[in-house]
Amino acid sequence: MAHRFYILLLVALALASPISSIIRVLFDNILVVLFVAVGGTVVSLWALQKGIEKTDPMTTNLIISAGPVITLAMYPILSGGSSLSISTYFAAAAVTLISMTNAFYKARSNMMIKT
């Protein structure tokens, strides 16, 4: 699972600006880059794996499905007050609702088959 991140980094490096400017920015901000890399990737994947181990699949699926709405709710706070259109919020809520409904019915059908 974690090997896809190497490919992601290589593709991002290839699509970014010239190598010399990337290396200069990287070395000027090495602590920030390491913090974001470790905090954003390693810690979040570790927390996801622990959550999958300790909770049932239904709970895990519902929490992951709520991600887009939680992200959009935090966006105005973190971006300094800029806002998104109401249709963006409705679209994220619709995707989340569809995902949660699908997870609920899939778990319900699995429970009915087992009994």
pLDDT tens, position by position, 38-54: 777 778 888 888 888 88
Average pLDDT over residues 53-64: 81
Assign 3 a pLDDT band (cuts: 50, 70, 90): low
Domain that residue 29 falls in: 1-54
Q: What is the rounded CA–CA span in Å between residue 88 and residue 85?
A: 5
Domain identity same for 75 and 98: yes
Among the listed residues 66, 65, 64, 73, the one whose alpha carbon sits nearest the alpha carbon of residue 44: 64
Average pLDDT over residues 55-79: 80
Residue 58 has pLDDT above 80, yes or no: no
Q: What is the rounded CA–CA span in Å between residue 18 and residue 25?
A: 11
Domain identity same for 70 and 114: yes
Question: In angstroms, what CA-CA distances link 86 with 69, 73, 89, 96, 103?
Answer: 12, 12, 5, 15, 26
Number of domains in the chain: 2
Domain identity same for 33 and 72: no
Among the listed residues 96, 1, 95, 92, the one whose alpha carbon sits nearest the alpha carbon of residue 41: 1
Residue 26 has pLDDT above 80, yes or no: no
Q: What is the pLDDT of residue 115?
A: 59
Domain identity same for 113 and 64: yes
Domain identity same for 76 and 113: yes
Domain identity same for 38 and 93: no
pTM (whole model) above 0.95: no
Q: What is the pLDDT of residues 87-101, one digit of tens each?
A: 888 888 888 888 888
For residue 98, the number of C-alpha atoms closer than 13 Å in the C-beta half-sphere is 7
Domain identity same for 4 and 49: yes
Q: What is the rounded CA–CA span in Å between residue 43 and residue 85?
A: 32
Q: Could you say which of 54, 72, 90 is where a domain stops?
A: 54
